[in-house]
């Protein structure tokens, strides 16, 4: 697919018309680029795009090369991957899953600002992949808040599994934004001298956006850790409650155990064993001991 940036717009053109204008955009399959030597020869770029693992931007002598891996926001869905070459007058996008090409089509059909150029396209194209990320981060924050409410209400089933998933998701997007921030810094550095001064300011805006998103994810990481601490505190409180009950029961039955052990010795000359009122007196004493202990515990607010 070939596009030209002309008259403050992006227009799809045939290949034969593409080479007659200055600023152009191409979208190819990543596999076609690596396998077709003639395709790379047209652009004078012999560099092959390696397998995409993360986001980066490199400056070479005649071009800039970047790889991008956009984490999926839906569990079980594949990440979006694409690569990009930037030359003085060309942007080449390598895309195998079609997501990057869909973004280009949206930019083509959308309204553009006056004085639109290739550098602004790069900014808009990269920005399209993080346009709804603030809403996504807000959703994660709401999910953490729901987990926190469940913990405080005593409904902490599968807490570790739910929190581990969110923490891994937050960490992944945090690293993603840091990588994009580095990409923005590399574009702003303009070591190949492809961009004008006003265009560099645009890339600085992109870097600032990535920095703010990284800060938001960092706040979410801290919030998740706070909820983890709340959960641990709730567990300790419950354990303390259990130990308190066990302590109260043990304290109540300790004098009863002493009485039972005392009169269970069965010495021959224990007068109480043959006294007719011994049993009811021992029972009454035991009940009084239990009542007194409960009253003392109640007064001391042990329960």
Check which CATH number belongs to the domain holding 274 and give it. Answer: 1.20.58.340
**Residue 34 to residues 13, 95, 262: CA-CA distances in angstroms?**
23, 12, 92
Supply the range of the domain harboring residue 61. Answer: 1-129
Report pTM. 0.78
Q: For strands 90-95 and 24-28, give the pairing.
A: parallel
Residue 171 included in any domain: no
Give the rounded percent of residues in the chain with a pLDDT score beyond 90: 18
Check pLDDT > 80 for residue 13.
no
CB 85 within 8 A of CB 45: yes
User: What is the residue whose two structure tokens read 């505190």?
Assistant: 233
| Stretch 198-222: mean pLDDT | 90
Q: Is residue 200 part of a domain?
A: no
Pairing mode, if any, of strands 9-13 and 24-28?
Answer: unpaired
Distance CA 216, CA 174 (A): 9
* Band (111; pLDDT cuts 50, 70, 90): low
Q: Which of 94, 129, 164 is the last residue of a domain?
A: 129
Residue 208 has pLDDT above 90, yes or no: yes
Dihedral of CA atoms 92, 98, 104, 108 in degrees, nearest 10, equals: 130
Q: Kindly state whether residue 32 falls inside one of the protein's structural domains.
A: yes
Number of domains present in the structure of the chain? 2
CB of 188 closer than 8 Å to CB of 58? no
Is residue 144 assigned to a domain? no
User: Could you write out the DSSP letters of every residue in 33-54?
Assistant: HHH-HHHHHHHT--PPP----S
Asked whether residue 101 carries a pLDDT value surpassing 80, the answer given is yes
Highest-scoring range by mean pLDDT, 58-67, 89-98, 194-203, 218-227: 218-227
Evaluate whether residue 232 is within a structural domain.
Answer: no
User: Which of residues 16 and 26 earns the better pLDDT score?
Assistant: 26
Domain finish residue from 129, 155, 179: 129
Top pLDDT among 8 and 75 is at: 75
Looking at 67, 94, 129, the residue that finishes a domain is: 129
Find the mean pLDDT for residues 52-57: 89
Give the N- to C-terminal CA distance of the chain in Å, as an integer.
Answer: 75
Indicate whether 10 belongs to any domain. yes
């Amino acid at each position: 697919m070939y596009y030209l940036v002309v008259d403050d717009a992006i227009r799809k053109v045939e290949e034969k018309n593409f080479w007659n204008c200055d600023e152009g955009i191409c979208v190819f399959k990543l596999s076609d680029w690596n396998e077709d030597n003639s395709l790379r020869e047209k652009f004078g770029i012999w560099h092959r795009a390696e397998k995409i693992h993360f986001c980066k931007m490199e400056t070479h002598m005649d071009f800039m090369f970047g790889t991008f891996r956009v984490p999926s926001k839906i569990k079980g869905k594949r990440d979006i991957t694409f690569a990009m070459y930037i030359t003085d007058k060309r942007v080449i996008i390598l895309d195998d899953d079609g997501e990057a090409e869909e973004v280009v089509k949206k930019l083509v059909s959308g309204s553009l600002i006056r004085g639109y150029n290739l550098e602004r396209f790069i900014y808009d194209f990269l920005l399209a992949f993080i346009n709804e990320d603030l809403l996504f981060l807000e959703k994660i924050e709401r999910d953490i808040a729901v987990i926190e409410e469940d913990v405080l209400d005593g409904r902490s089933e599968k807490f570790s599994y739910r929190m581990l998933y969110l923490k891994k998701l937050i960490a992944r997007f945090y690293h993603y934004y840091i990588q994009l921030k580095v990409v923005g810094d590399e574009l702003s550095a303009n070591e190949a001298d492809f961009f004008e001064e006003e265009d560099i300011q645009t890339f600085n805006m992109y870097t600032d956006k990535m920095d703010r998103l990284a800060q938001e994810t960092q706040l979410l990481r801290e919030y998740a850790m706070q909820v983890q601490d709340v959960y641990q505190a709730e567990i300790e409180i419950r354990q303390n409650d259990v130990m308190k009950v066990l302590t109260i029961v043990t304290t109540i039955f300790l004098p009863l155990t002493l009485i039972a052990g005392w009169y269970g010795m069965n010495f021959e000359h224990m007068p109480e064993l043959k006294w007719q009122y011994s049993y009811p007196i021992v029972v009454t004493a035991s009940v009084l001991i239990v009542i007194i202990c409960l009253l003392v515990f109640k007064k001391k607010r042990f329960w």
